[in-house]
Amino acid sequence: MANVNSYTRRMPTPDRTSLDAIVDAARDLLEEQGLTGLTMNAVALRVGVRPPSLYKRVSSREQLVQLVAEATLTGVAVRLDRMESAAEVVNEFRRFGHAHPAAFQLVMTPAAGIPTARREFGERASDAMLRIGGMLAGEEHALVAARTLTAWATGFVSMELNGSFQLGGDIDEAWRFGVARLIDALTRVG
Partner DNA sequence: ACCTGAACACCGTTCAAGT
Q: How far apart are CB 30 and a second copy at their closest, in Å?
A: 9
By CB under 7 A, tell whether 106 contacts DNA. Answer: no
Q: How far apart are CB 121 and DNA at their closest, in Å?
A: 21
Near a second copy in 116-155, by CB under 8 A:
116, 119, 122-123, 126, 130, 141, 143-144, 147-148, 150-155
Q: How many CA atoms lie within 13 Å of 49's alpha carbon, on the beta-carbon side?
A: 20
Judged by DSSP in three states, 112 sits in coil
120, 173 contact by CB (below 8 A): no
Helix 40-47 and helix 61-81, axial crossing angle in degrees, nearest 10: 70
- Residues 152 and 179: their CA atoms lie apart, in Å, by 9
| Partner whose binding site includes residue 40, from a second copy, DNA, none (CB under 5 to 8 Å by kind) | DNA
| Partner whose binding site includes residue 167, from DNA, a second copy, none (CB under 5 to 8 Å by kind) | a second copy
| Partner whose binding site includes residue 13, from a second copy, DNA, none (CB under 5 to 8 Å by kind) | DNA
34 or 51, CB closer to DNA? Answer: 51
Residue 84 CA: distances (Å) to CA of 75, 150, 181: 17, 16, 19
Judged by DSSP in three states, 3 sits in coil
Sign of CA dihedral 146, 151, 157, 160: negative
Amino acid type, 166: Q
Near DNA in 5-64, by CB under 7 A:
10-13, 15-17, 38-42, 49-53, 55-56, 60-62
| Partner whose binding site includes residue 15, from DNA, a second copy, none (CB under 5 to 8 Å by kind) | DNA
- Residues 50 and 54: their CA atoms lie apart, in Å, by 7
49 or 142, CB closer to a second copy? Answer: 142
Q: In the complex, which residues of this chain contact DNA (CB under 7 A)?
A: 10-13, 15-17, 38-42, 49-53, 55-56, 60-62
